[in-house]
Chain A
Amino acid sequence: DTGVSQNPRHKITKRGQNVTFRCDPISEHNRLYWYRQTLGQGPEFLTYFQNEAQLEKSRLLSDRFSAERPKGSFSTLEIQRTEQGDSAMYLCASSPLGGAQETQYFGPGTRLLVL
């Protein structure tokens, strides 16, 4: 069991640039979630995939954010035209289909700093 992995672990970019993060869930997990977390706050839901289908997306998510899970395995989160307010930790989590969705296994996160 290798757990959920995320790459890169850290990303520094300039405002206006595009960034892409990758998440590799636990291999048998069909459910995949993306969250954003800022200092002193809990994870904020961004989007949810069941296999390759994106079933829910936060209304707080602007159209600069897009996520994919093309083969139902790894997922990518892209932020276009980054803004300083996008600076945060981006967390990915997975859980197995058939288990409680509340039991989510988180990756180590990608820390984004937008200068």
Chain B
Amino acid sequence: GQSLEQPSEVTAVEGAIVQINCTYQTSGFYGLSWYQQHDGGAPTFLSYNALDGLEETGRFSSFLSRSDSYGYLLLQELQMKDSASYFCAVRNTGGFKTIFGAGTRLFVKA
């Protein structure tokens, strides 16, 4: 089967750095994606790792290790507006179905 596991909640203070982990089980996949979703809003694409290593986009970075079936999203210089749910997602090779994790709810405190 295919599954992704993420922590359900993370709390951090404004200005800090937070890491949201994602472990996955899948027979083969193209890469790991991350999406952000604010309450009442639509998911918004953040990043995609097709290869092992770190991808950086502004304050957000994402990491993938295929050998460990593990990835993470790193948010730096946290702002109150970063309070949202964050989802990791994979798409298996040979198909079009994208599987999302249950999401990590990030609370940023002043």
Contact = CB atoms under 8 A, between A and B. Distances in A.
Interface of A: 33, 40-45, 48, 50, 55-56, 58, 91, 93, 100-109
Interface in B9-58: 30-31, 33, 41-45, 48, 50
Nearest to A46: B97
B44 A42 contact: no
A102 B34 CA distance: 9
A109 B42 CA distance: 7
B95 interface: yes
Given A42-B87, A100-B50, A33 B98 contact: yes
B64 to A, nearest CB: 12
13 contacts: A41-B102, A42-B102, A43-B43, A44-B100, A48-B96, A48-B97, A56-B95, A56-B97, A102-B33, A103-B33, A103-B48, A104-B45, A108-B41
A103 B97 contact: no
Contacts, number: 61
Q: Dominant SS at the B interface?
A: strand
Nearest to B33: A102
B97 A106 contact: no
B16 to A, nearest CB: 25
